[in-house]
Every structure is written in C-alpha cells, then in structure tokens.
Structure 1
Amino acid sequence: MVLERLEALPVGSFHYKLLAVTGLGWLFDSMDTGLIAFILPVLAKEWQLAPAQMGMIGSIGLIGMALGAVISGTVADHLGRKKVFSITVLLYSIASAMCALAWDYTSLLCFRFLVGFGLGGELPVAATLVSEYAPSRVRGRFIVLLESFWGLGWIVAACIAYFFIPVYGWRMAFGIGALPALYVFLIRLHMPESVRYLLAKGRVQEARDIVVKLEEKLHVPVQPFTSDHEILPPKTVVSFRELWKKPFISRTVMLWLVWFGINFSYYGIFMWLPSMVFQQGFTVVKTFEYVLVMTLAQLPGYYCAAWLVDKLGRKYTLSAFLLFSGVASYFFGHAATATTLMVWGSVMSFFNLGAWGVLYTYTPEQYPTTIRALGSGWAAGFGRFGGMAAPLMTGIVIGRGFGFGFVFYMFAFVFLAVAAVVLSLGIESKQKDLESITTVSRVS
C-alpha cells in the first residue's frame, strides 16, 4: 500500500530538502512581515502618518492574508499543494516589488494587500505539504522546524533594517523583499506533489511513482506493488460544511479561536514592537538593535517546542507556551528600564513563536487529507481577522492616550484565554498516522 510505504520511509535527504525548500518560502514571508514592522516608524516620520494610519498599513496586509489563506486552502484541495504554493510565492514577490514603487499612502495600502494575499496563501499550504510527507514519528518536529524559518526571516529583516534602511531608505528594503520571485524555479525543481493528495484524487500511479523514486533516493529496497488496486480514502464532499460536522466541529471551533487569539496578540505586539521601543526614547538604530536581540530569542523557542511537541504532546505544549506568552507580554508592557524591556521581550519572543510552531503542527492533524488544506486554510484565514484588528486597535488605543501597559493587559488576557480553549477542547495527535487521527463523513 502506498501510504504504508510512504510512512515507512527513513528520514533522509528528501525530507530535509523538502523542509529547506518550504522553509525558505517561510523565511521570505517572515522577512516581508518583519520589514514592514521596521519600516513603519521611518515611514510614519517621512509621510507624517497618524497612529491609526500606521495601524492600517499593518492591518491591510492581514486582510489579504485572511483571504489568501481561505482561497488557497480551498484551491489546494482541488489543484494540488505544489501548484498553489508556487503561485502564491510569485504573487507575493511581485507585490513586494510594487511596494518599493508606492507613491502615496493609498497605493502602499493596495500593494500591501496583495503582498498579504500571497503570503497568507503560502503558509497553510506549505505546512500541509510537509505534514503529508513527514513520517508520524517526527512530523511534529518537522513542522515546528519549518516554522522556525519564520524566526530566521525576522532576523534577516532586522539585519536589512539595521544595515540598509538608515543608509538607503525604506524603498530598498521593499525591493529586497521581491527576491523570492527567483525562488519559484527552485520549487518547481525540488518539490513533488503530495502523495496523499494524489491518492485522494484517484491518481494512484503518480503516487506510486513518487514513492518508488523516494525509496530509490533513500536507498530502500524497492518492491513492486503487488496489486493493481489501491485502498483509496473514502470519497468526500470537499466543502466548507464538512468542517462543521462531527467529529470536526469541536476541532474547528478550537482552531478558529486559537488562530484568532494568537494572531491578535502576535501582530498587535510585533507589528508595533519597533515603534514601541522607538517611542520609549531610543534612536532608530538602537531600536533595531534591541528588537534584533528579542528576535534572536525566537530560535531557541522553536527548538524547545520542536523537542517537546513529540515528547509532551501537541495539546499541552501549545497551551503551556500560550500561557507563558501571556505572562511575558504582561511584564513586557510594564517594563520600566531598558534591561527589563529586553529580558521580557526576549521571553515573550521565546514562548510566542514556539506556540506558533506547535499550532502549525497541530492544525493539519485535525482533518483528513481531502479537507486538510481547506480546514487549515480556513483556520488560518479566520485567525488573520485577529491579526488585522490588533495593529489597527493598538494604534487607536495609543492615539487616544492609553499607555502601553493597558495594551499589554489586553494581549496577556487573550493569550490566557486561548490557552484555556486548547486545554478544554483540544485532542492529542502526537505520533499518530494522519489517516488514523480523523475520519470524515462519506458521500451518501
């Protein structure tokens, strides 16, 4: 059976190459998100933007991400993971180049929307593809490591901001963000289509050919398939309504709430982080240095989560990291000195980004192959509404005279609330085969 042989493959060069190829896409996306956070304080000064306008620049990309996640997730279950992944990377790259040419506030908003559409479309499809290839015994670790490229992207963004923006200006930073267009060719050469997707579409021979090639590449003895008949997944109605039928309704509710909460807190904090540090009295260059240190703390957070997710499990690792993110964000908002600002900012980065890694592992595992990209895309898409609301709300709250302490009370509460949601509604999917975790209703 194709899936049994796919699952039995030893972890080798193919899996790490797939992780690297998809991870580079993740890095470029993160780099773009980080760049806009670093560009905002410079752009606000040059264009004389109000706090609400700064918040809107951050939020408009999240609107695009919401639509991109929903549409790409739906399309990926019809056209395939690889094709949709390539298209979204290309769209995001072109739109980023257009941001460098923006002539006013309105044009920048339009281009940032398109950037967000491509970015939001890529992430859930990439996570779905990796989860469908990684063996169950290491799947959690691989998805968290995939998510760790997000932290690397922020570090690249911080370096670009530190070395380029003070000298060449913000337009050059956006221009660098257009480089992933070249990356599409790498995707075409090194990324196969999902075997599970091909089987779900009845394309058995294509799936078998991929498995045989992988066995040869990983030096596994290749045996001929003994039967012309493959046990295929049951035919299903691939529609939005499937997400709201048993046994998926509680999982959908849980995922939507967690995605909304983690997006709300993450983008509310990190899109404003350079501006917050800058407004504390530090220079632009010093601000970049402080935020770079906080960003570096993301990497050990990912690696700690990657180890715990297959030891402690998805449910408890995710809830614990969300809980400590809330504690850290509270103390960060009330930091009175530069030292405490950096310490609590680093702790917040450690747990917040670790939680993201676990969530990207956890989400595709809640649905079967036929609706996996659909379910992941809708969860991520709904979450982006939290992301788009937070920067705008933060700008309005600050503009009306409320301090950063009040803002971080709000973020801490949201983190604690979604941690409770995971504990109460979540199921454990540690080291289980994707096809055994869930079932889906048959077509009548």
Structure 2
Amino acid sequence: MDIISRLERIPAGRFHYQLLLLTGLGWMFDAMDTGIIAFVLPVLARKWGLTPAQVGYIGSMGLVGMALGAVLAGSLADRFGRKKVFAATLVFYSIATGLCGVAWNYTVLLLFRFLVGFGLGGQLPVAVTLVSEYAPAGKRGRFIVLLESFWAVGWLAAALISYLLIPRYGWQAAFLIGALPALYVFHIGKKVPESVRYLLEKGQVAAAHQLVSKLEEESGLAVAEAAIVPEKAAKFRPAFQDIWTKGLAPRTVMLWILWFGIVYTYYGIFIWLPSLMAGQGITILKTFQYLLIMTLAQLPGYYSAAYLVERVGRKATLAAYLLLSALCAWFFGQGGSVVSILFWGSMMSFFNLGAWGVVYTYTPELYPTRIRAFGSGWAAAVGRIGGILAPIFVGYMVSARSGFMNVFIMFTVVMVLIAGAVWFLGEETKGKLLDEISR
C-alpha cells in the first residue's frame, strides 16, 4: 500500500482535530483582523471627515492586497510548503494590522490596509489546502466547514474588541490588539505538520513515511514498514495554463464565478454594514450591539452546513444557502423595526457564512495535488476582485443616495446568479478521494 493510500485510510482522530484547532485559530485571527476595519470605519469617518467614497476605498484596499497575496502565497505554498507560508503570512498581516493603529492620515492607512490584505489573502487558501490534504475523504467537507467556522469566532472577537475598546480608548486600540496574533507563530512552528502530499511532491519520502507511520500508530493501525511512493506525473512548476486544461477549465470557470460573487456580496455587505446601520440613525454603540447578535448567528450557520455538506452534498447545500441568503438580504434591505433588522440580518449572516464554509470545502477538491494551492489561490484572487469593487460601489451608491433598500436589492441579484452558476455548472464531490476527484 502506498503512502497516500495509507494516509487516506486513517480515521478521524485526535491528530485531525488538533490540526483543525491549530489552523482554525490562525483562521480566527484572520477574521479578527479583517473584521476590525468594519467596526473602525464609522468612527474613523467621523473623526477624519471621510466621504462615503473614501470609506469604500479603505474597505477595498485590503482586498487589493488579498488578491495579490492569494496568488503569490498559493504558488509559494506549492513550492516551499504549506506550513512555512501559513506561519509567514500570519506574522505579516498581524504586524501590518498593528501599524494601522499608528496611521497618521488617510493615505498611510490605505497603504497599511493593503499590507494587511496581502498577508490575509496569502494565508486563507494555504490553510484550507493543508487541512483538506489531511482530512479523511468521508469527513473532509465537514472539517473544512468547521475550519471556516472559526471565521465567525474571529468576527465575534472583532466585534467584542470594538465594543469594549473603541468607545473608551479610541479606534487605534482595536488595531493594536490585532497585532498580537503574531505571537502565535511560535506555536505553529512546533505543532503544525507539513502536508504529506507536499512532501511526496518534493521527493521527501522518508519524512512523509515517518509522518504517516506516526499517525497509523496513534490510530491503532498496523504500521507499514516499506515507504511505497504512489505513481505520479513528472515534477513541474505550476503555471496559469495548468488550471485551463480540458478537464479543469469548466471547474475553473464555475469557481471563478462563485468566488467573485460570494466575495463581492460578503465584503460589500459586512464591511459596510456598521456604517450603513449608523447611516439609518442607529447609534454607534447600538450598531455594535446589533452586529454582535448577527455575528453570533454565523456559528450555527457554519455548523448546519458542516452537517449537510456530507449528507446532502456540496452542490445542493451551497446553492440552497446562497439562495436563502439572497432572500434574507432582500427582506433586510426593506428595513423596518429593530426586530425585523435583527432577524433578517441574523438569518442573512447564518446562510451567507454557511455558504462560505462550503466554498472552502469545494474549491481545493477540484484541483490535483500539484496545483491545488495554486488553483485555489487563483480562485480566491478572482474573488478578491469582487471584494475590491463591492465596497467602492456601495460607497458611490451611498454618495448618490441610492438608498439602503437598493444596495441590498443589488446583493440579492448577485447571490441568485451565483447560486445558478453552482447548480448548473458545479460537480458533486461528496465522499470521493482527492486524487479521484482531481483527475
């Protein structure tokens, strides 16, 4: 039995859940540093007298960095390893977030937000690739959705930090707290393993065999003595044309539509949500309180998706959650009472973030090992283009007084369109081995 077959037969156990927690904490810090800017913006807009268009540019600048970081880190992870790039990007974006706290004007803040985004964009596709390459086939979808659920915890941390610190110590304090995750890198170096598939791709057979043997022993399985290497194609450096081969081109098209649309709606809604609510006459303090409640709703959204993704499948769960998120966005945009805003806002968070969990499950499954991080990185980068455009576009809609309702009608239409793309163009990957799917 070759090393990959041995790895695939290992049941989910302590090692897998520990890896989920270790990478999940990194994911949580990603979300915390991303979320802080959303809560800072309405305060900063008043302090610095920013126009809606300028607010939109601050929200978008991080996405510009994310787009570049996703492409570069995906390529670097395929070349230098998942673990090293995961650790390096965490340190990079944490330090950059701390620098945002000492920004002395609008232009400098834009620069620092670009650097934050560059690190964040690099880490996300690398983390999901690492977990997907270890998770057992029958539970891989659930593991990736649970990994993505740490995003909600990070946004909840951002909301709490903002609620507790900004009114008392100012917006700078929230950014300075965001630098602390850099210290987590020391734990990553000790506890996070390198991907077995990556080790084999690089010819490090002894290291891969040792890792799998340790997992077999911990799981109570017979430890194989011989290190049999699976058959593989000749080594090559990932290139752009590799994701556009005959078998992969349709998958790439579907993933790029999906990523563009879901990132467009997510960052357009959630980066602007505190400012949009404040613009409706809700006080900053009340806005933070309401957003805490909406953020809490994201957690059951993830967990429900984690349950359905292995029972109903990736395609149906993702399409359904996108459509339901669209429905909730429509009703949320109608405004109304506080109860109505809280209910539809919470349900929108529930379904939108549940869909995100499935996206991160689905994406790496559609590419072979040699270009998995590279292909995932490109899909994420295309998504970041949507994220760049959305905050700017919403800013211009606010400046033009298009209305709260029209902003959410736009997001409703986009989510319906990407749900259709998934349903008509997507492939089902539930329960299949990574190497079987990726051919």
TM range (shorter): over 0.9
> How many angstroms does 1:217 deviate by?
3.1
Write the letter of the residue equivalent to 1:230.
Answer: V
Give the aligned partner of residue 65 of structure 2.
Answer: 64
Write the letter of the residue equivalent to 1:422.
Answer: V
Alignment gaps of 5+ in structure 2: none
Write the letter of the residue equivalent to 1:117.
Answer: F
**Count of aligned positions:** 437
> How many angstroms does 1:32 deviate by?
1.1
Say what the alpha-carbon RMSD is for the aligned residues: 1.0
What CA deviation, in whole Å up to 9, does each residue of 1:388-437 have, x standing for no partner? Answer: 11001100111011101111111000000000000111000001100111
> How many angstroms does 1:233 deviate by?
2.2
> How many angstroms does 1:223 deviate by?
3.0
What CA deviation, in whole Å up to 9, does each residue of 1:269-288 have, x standing for no partner? Answer: 00011111111111111110
Give the aligned partner of residue 212 of structure 1.
Answer: 213
What CA deviation, in whole Å up to 9, does each residue of 1:348-392 have, x standing for no partner? Answer: 000000000000000000001000000000000110000011001
Does residue 233 of structure 1 match 2:200?
no
Distance 2:317 2:221 in 1: 34
Write the letter of the residue equivalent to 2:262.
Answer: I
- Does the aligned pair in 2 maintain the 1:96–1:177 contact within 8 Å? yes
What CA deviation, in whole Å up to 9, does each residue of 1:253-300 have, x standing for no partner? Answer: 000010000000000000011111111111111110001111111000
Alignment of 1:396-415 (within 5 A): 396-415=396-415
Write the letter of the residue equivalent to 1:85.
Answer: F
Using the size of structure 1 for normalisation, the TM-score is 0.97
> How many angstroms does 1:216 deviate by?
2.6
What's the secondary structure of 1:146's corresponding residue?
helix
Alignment of 1:122-201 (within 5 A): 122-201=123-202
Write the letter of the residue equivalent to 1:126.
Answer: A
Give the aligned partner of residue 442 of structure 1.
Answer: none
> How many angstroms does 1:208 deviate by?
0.4
Distance 1:218 1:24 in 2: 24
Give the aligned partner of residue 353 of structure 1.
Answer: 353
Write the letter of the residue equivalent to 2:65.
Answer: G
Distance 1:402 1:230 in 2: 60
Distance 1:412 1:389 in 2: 16
Give the aligned partner of residue 42 of structure 1.
Answer: 43
Using the size of structure 2 for normalisation, the TM-score is 0.98
Give the aligned partner of residue 262 of structure 1.
Answer: 262
Write the letter of the residue equivalent to 1:162.
Answer: Y
What CA deviation, in whole Å up to 9, does each residue of 1:14-43 have, x standing for no partner? Answer: 111110111011101101111100000000
Distance 1:126 1:438 in 2: 19
Distance 1:101 1:37 in 2: 17
Distance 1:19 1:29 in 2: 15
Distance 1:221 1:331 in 2: 56
> How many angstroms does 1:236 deviate by?
5.4
Give the aligned partner of residue 289 of structure 1.
Answer: 289
Give the aligned partner of residue 93 of structure 1.
Answer: 94
Give the aligned partner of residue 24 of structure 2.
Answer: 23
> How many angstroms does 1:220 deviate by?
3.1
- Does the aligned pair in 1 maintain the 2:33–2:94 contact within 8 Å? no
Distance 1:254 1:380 in 2: 13
Distance 2:184 2:219 in 1: 25
What CA deviation, in whole Å up to 9, does each residue of 1:183-231 have, x standing for no partner? Answer: 1111111111100111122221111011112223334332312xx5422
Does residue 279 of structure 1 match 2:279?
yes
- Does the aligned pair in 2 maintain the 1:200–1:232 contact within 8 Å? no
What's the secondary structure of 2:133's corresponding residue?
helix
Distance 1:276 1:229 in 2: 58
What CA deviation, in whole Å up to 9, does each residue of 1:310-362 have, x standing for no partner? Answer: 00000110111111111111111112111111111011000000000000000
Alignment gaps of 5+ in structure 1: 440-444
What's the secondary structure of 1:137's corresponding residue?
helix
- Does the aligned pair in 1 maintain the 2:102–2:172 contact within 8 Å? yes
- Identical aligned residues as a percent: 59
Write the letter of the residue equivalent to 1:403.
Answer: G
Give the aligned partner of residue 303 of structure 1.
Answer: 303
Write the letter of the residue equivalent to 2:422.
Answer: V
